[in-house]
Every structure is written in structure tokens, then in C-alpha cells.
Amino acid sequence: MGFDLFVIPFTAGLAFLLVWFFYKTAVWLYHLSRVDRILLKRGIFSGKTIRSVKEVILESLLHRKIFRTNPLLGYMHMSLAFGWFLLIVAGNVEAMIYRPAAIHPPYYPIFFRFFEPEAAGFPGEKAFEFIMDFLLLFILSGVALALFKRIRSRALGMKKTTRLLWYDRLALYSLWCIFPFRLLAESVTSGIYQTGGVITGSLGNFLSGLIPLQSFEYPAWWAYSLALGLFFVALPFSRYMHIPTEVVLIFLRNYGIRTRNAYSSFSEIEVYSCSRCGICIDPCPMSAAAGIQNIQSVYMIRNIRYHTPDEDVLDNCLMCGRCNIACPVGIITTDLRAIARTEEHFPVNPQRNIAAKPTPHHEVIYFAGCMGQLTPAVTQSMEAIMQQAGEDYFFLDKEESICCGRPLALAGRIAEAKQLMEINRDKILSSGARILVTSCPICYKVFREEYHLPITVMHHTQYLYRLLMQGRIRLRSRNISLAYHDPCELGRGSGIYEEPRQVLKHAGILTPTASEKEKSICCGGSLGNTVLGQKKRREITKYSLENLTINNPDTIVTSCPLCKKTFAQSSDRPVRDIAEVVKSALFRDNDNSRLSENLMIPAEEFLF
Ligand code: SF4
Ligand code: SF4
């Protein structure tokens, strides 16, 4: 085992990277909140650690999620990450077998062929030659794909890629150089000593006929070491910091740590874990339908990381969460955005929104929500259905509108939102109700996640399904095709996909749409975006409607008053809330028609 000056760039770069990363991780862990530290302590010695190791292998090395959405892109990421990991492991095993020692200097296995050019006669010699060459080829195929992606991203299934900052360029170009330089250095040495595997040996022999190998050998190893050193030094400042940070993220997330209502250590880990892969760009309706290309999560997170806030980027988002579903790292980008918006809020007086009257006692509290107030057909239908079911209910916001607090939180006014929620919570609990039903997916999400209510919280789709299953209401199936739109906050936000579909199957013929469930496209009316103009909103609505009407349904059905209102302004066919559909299909005892699962009523008789 020896030493040579050319190993210095690699060794110094690696030392810098390790010190920087461990320092940064220590700071992140030190600044975790008390609750998060308890979660961390509880999680470390539990099955969650094993789950995390598995996830690191599947996601950080094999890039399973990217594979599922885009196999070519998945292969590119996997060949670089997993291939390099295996190359390091195999190199260390080879060095250890050839020269057994308690520990080798880190450069020794990396530059093994330089220090041991004539290594032979050790167990598995031929196998190692083959494996090392094969892994190098595997990684080089990934580098070639990455290069190709930069030139023609569409060929790899990406309409848009991200623009690179200068430190990203430095890291990227040095990364691209590492493996070709390694191939060159090993081939030159193999050519001189007539050793090497199928690839390095053959290339060495070929080069020996073209160039004086002796004079190229040393510069080639220097170039390899310099590329490695440069990459390690640039990595912490570039997007490639996601490589080590994602591992920390996976462990902490599995321990139950999350970004909550304020920017925390964990939020910063999420920000550093963004690889700027750009996968969140194409699914974004702002990009696909409105042609707005600079506000997507990748740019918002980049601005947070480099402390370059941009109000346009922050505010011009529908908060629909499509990017959350698409993100292979699992970053909840909408939470980061809502927190970043806190910097630009102005105070409001939440008391102003509250009705001071005490809430009478009833079994069920019905809460329409602000948007429900603007769509009386929804609230009237809900009241009719509850009366038909004989429900003991109280319509909490019938007399005056009450805000649940979510719009404030989405706009970044978290302190005011919390204050408002406390007041509403007292009001709901004072009724003694056992069930809270709301027609608004936004209110549903916030009641469930932020209010910590000791009673059952239901969206009206769940409530209607329950009434149906309990036999408290009966429906007449109609000969009408219904296309169901999953509202962002109800579907992606709360995971409610099946109940509305089950209800609609009892009321008509449910037809498939182009982008269903978690792929559903925002209606364009989002309250989360306070700056998007009407023209762009309409483009998004049109795009969403095109996806919904692919099978030419008679009626579009949704379960969010805001979606209903937004679609109704642009749709060429009726748009109804699920409550209206159910009300219209209610079977009453004085109905002459026969109740049957298969009873079909013509579309023209389907009155709302
Ligand atoms: S937010 Fe997720 S999908 Fe978007 S660039 Fe970052 S890692 Fe990729
Ligand atoms: S939340 Fe929706 S609109 Fe906002 S960046 Fe993500 S996909 Fe685009």
C-alpha cells in the first residue's frame, strides 16, 4: 500500500464533505423540537429503523418511485446511485482480500489499480475484474442518459427540466467526469501492465497502439482524483446535497417527525432533500394548463434553500397537492409553501368571523363552510337528506358564515388561523354533538387534522355513504352517466376516494375520467392561490374539464362547493354536488316507482 500526491484532491474533498455533512446533521438534530426529539428517541430502537433502512435501499439507491412513473429516468438514477454504491463496496472488499488490514486509507480501494497494477493471485481475482468493469459500464450508461436528458429531456418523458445554478453545474460536470476519467485511468494502467478486465483491459490494449501510455497514466489518475474532489466540495452547496440528506429524511419521517406549523429543522431537511429532479413540474396544472413555468415546487424549494424569496413564486400556486403525490422524495411541498408564506402575511381579527351565540345540543352538527354558503343548492340538499333520514342535526353556520381557519393557514397566517380554530372548537364542543359533518373538503381536512376534536368528523360524502349503508336513505338508480371529480383536499389531501364513488353508483352510471383519484386535476378555483388571474384560472378549469369529459358524461359531479362553482362557469353540461345528486335520487315512501338497484330512469327525467 502506498501514497501518492494525486490522492490529495480526493482525500481532502471527502474529508470536507464528511465534516460538513455530520456538522449539518448534528445541527439539525440539535434543533429538533422537544416533541420531535421524543419521537426520535422512541423510534431509533424500534422496527421503524429497519423500515427506514429498507426504504433507503428502495428509494435512495434503487429509486423505486421514479422507476414506477418513468422507467428510463428510474434507470438513470439507479445506475448512478446503486451502481456507484456497489462499486465502492466491491472495491473495498477487493482491497481487503488482496491486502488484509483492520482499515485502509479511504483512497486505497478507490485507486486500487494504481497502487496495485499487477494485483493477481488473490481469491476471486477474475470475478473482481469482471464485476468492477461491469459496474463501471453500468454507471457510464447512466451518465450517458443524464447527458442525453440535458439535451433532449422529452426523450426521457420530461417536458420540462430545471435550470441549473452555477454550483449545480460545477457538481454536475465533475460528476459526469468522474467515471469516464476512472475508465481512462484504469485502462491506461491496464494497458501498461497488460492486466484489467474485459473493458479496461481491451481499452488499454487499444490505447497502447494510439498513445504513449506511460506519459498518460499519471495525468489520468490526477484527473480522476480531481473530479472526485471537486464533486465532494461542490456537493454540499448544490442540489446533490439531497443524496446524504434524503437518508436522514427517511429515518426521521419514519419516526413520525413532520413539518408542522412553523419552519423547523425537519423542514430544512426536506428542503435539502429536494434533488431538483423536476418531476413535480409536468403534473402541475399551472404548468400543463396555464403555461406558468416558474412557480412549481422545485423553484419554491430552491428559493427557500438559497434564501431568495419570491412572492410571485410563493403565492401563485393552487395548493392542489399534485406535486406532493408526484415527488419521489415524499416532500410535502404544500406545507413548506404555506410556512414560507407566513413571511408576507398581515394580521386579521379572527373574532370578527365568530357568532357569539351558544350552540344548542344536537346529535349531529352540520357545517357548510364559507363556500357552502355561496352554493345554497348544496346546503339545501344536505338539509333535505338529513330530514329524510330523520337526523337530529344543527346547522352551525346557517345564519352567518364561519371560517374554519384553513384559508388563513394556506395564506401563511398561521397564528391567526390557530386563534380562530380555538374559538370554533369551543363552539362545536359546546353543542355536545357526536358527529360533525361538513360539505367542504378544506374544512373537513382542517377539522380532522388541526382541531383535535374528540368527536367523529365526516365529509358529507362519508356521511351520505353511511346513511345509505345504514338504510336510513334509499336511492333510485338513474340511467344517467356521471363523471366524478376528486377535489384536491378531499382526495389527495384526505384520501377519500371510495365513498363518493360508492354513493354515485347507487344514483347513476359512474363513468371513468382521464385523471382520477390521486391524479385528479385541480378545478382552478383554489383558494390557496391569491394572485392567479381569471384567464389563467379558466385555462386550468378547461384543462380539468377536458379530463373529466373524456367519456362524454351527462353530468359532472363533485363534492366541493368551490369546485362546483368553478366548473359550472365553464362547463358545457350540468355540474352538481354529490348532495344534489343524492337528494334528487332519494326514494320517498310516497314514490310510485319501484325501488331497485337496477331500476333505470331516463336521463331527461333526472331533475335537480
Ligand atoms: S420537490 Fe420532489 S419532485 Fe420536485 S424537484 Fe424536488 S425532489 Fe423532485
Ligand atoms: S400544489 Fe398544485 S399548483 Fe402548486 S406547485 Fe404543486 S402541483 Fe402546482
Q: What's the CATH code of the domain at 597?
A: 3.40.50
Q: Which residues share a beta bridge with 509?
A: 481
- Same-domain status, 435 and 492: no
**Which residue has 377539522 as its cell numbers?**
447
- Is 18 among the domain residues? yes
What is the reported pLDDT for 489?
92
The residues, any chain, with a CB within 8 Å of residue 205's CB and separated by 6 or more, are 191, 194
3-state secondary structure of 325: helix
- Same-domain status, 328 and 356: no
- Is 237 among the domain residues? yes
> What integer best gives the mean pLDDT of the chain?
89
- Same-domain status, 77 and 213: yes
Instruction: Find out whether 548 and 293 touch, Cβ atoms under 8 Å.
Output: no
- Residue 362's nearest CA partner among 395, 385, 393, 391 is 393
Pocket test for ligand 2, best of 274, 314, 317 (most atoms within 8 A of CB): 317
CA 163 / ligand 2 centre spacing (Å) = 18
For the cut 70, the answer to whether the pLDDT of residue 116 exceeds it is yes
What is the reported pLDDT for 358?
66
Amino acid at 11: T
Q: Within a 10 A sphere around the Cβ of 14, how many other Cβ atoms?
A: 18
- Same-domain status, 374 and 458: yes
- Is 165 among the domain residues? no
- Is 248 among the domain residues? no
* CA neighbours closer than 13 Å in the CB half-sphere of residue 225: 23
- Same-domain status, 494 and 436: no
**Does the Cβ of 280 fall within 6 Å of ligand 1?**
yes
- Same-domain status, 456 and 491: no
The residue out of 219, 243, 267 marking a domain boundary is 243
The residue out of 443, 465, 487 marking a domain boundary is 465
The CA-atom distances, in angstroms, between 482 and each of 144, 511, 577 are: 48, 6, 11
- Cell numbers placing 283: 403534473
The residue out of 406, 435, 465 marking a domain boundary is 465
- Is 250 among the domain residues? no
- Same-domain status, 315 and 419: no
- Same-domain status, 600 and 451: no
For the cut 80, the answer to whether the pLDDT of residue 522 exceeds it is yes
Number of domains comprising the chain: 4
- Is 264 among the domain residues? no
- Same-domain status, 388 and 335: no
What is the reported pLDDT for 590?
58
- Is 261 among the domain residues? no
What is the reported pLDDT for 392?
94
The CA distance from 582 to 182, in Å, is 68
- Same-domain status, 140 and 193: yes
- Same-domain status, 597 and 521: yes
The residues, any chain, with a CB within 8 Å of residue 514's CB and separated by 6 or more, are 546, 547, 548, 550
In three-state form (DSSP H/G/I as H, E/B as E, the rest C), the secondary structure along 194-228 is CCCCHHHHHHHHHHHCCCCHHHHHHHHHHHHHHHH
N-term to C-term CA, the chain: 85
- Domain span including residue 512: 474-605
- Is 269 among the domain residues? no
- Same-domain status, 519 and 434: no
- Residue 478's nearest CA partner among 348, 542, 574, 367 is 574
The CA-atom distances, in angstroms, between 210 and each of 188, 193, 279 are: 11, 16, 44
**Residue having the nearest C-alpha atom to atom 8 of ligand 2:** 284
- Residue 278's nearest CA partner among 138, 168, 412 is 168
- Top pLDDT among 141 and 372 is at 141
pLDDT bucket at 160, cuts 50 / 70 / 90: low
CA 411 / ligand 2 centre spacing (Å) = 14
Pocket test for ligand 2, best of 312, 322, 520, 526 (most atoms within 8 A of CB): 322
CA 437 / ligand 1 centre spacing (Å) = 35
What is the reported pLDDT for 344?
52
What is the reported pLDDT for 233?
97
- Residue positions counted in the chain: 608
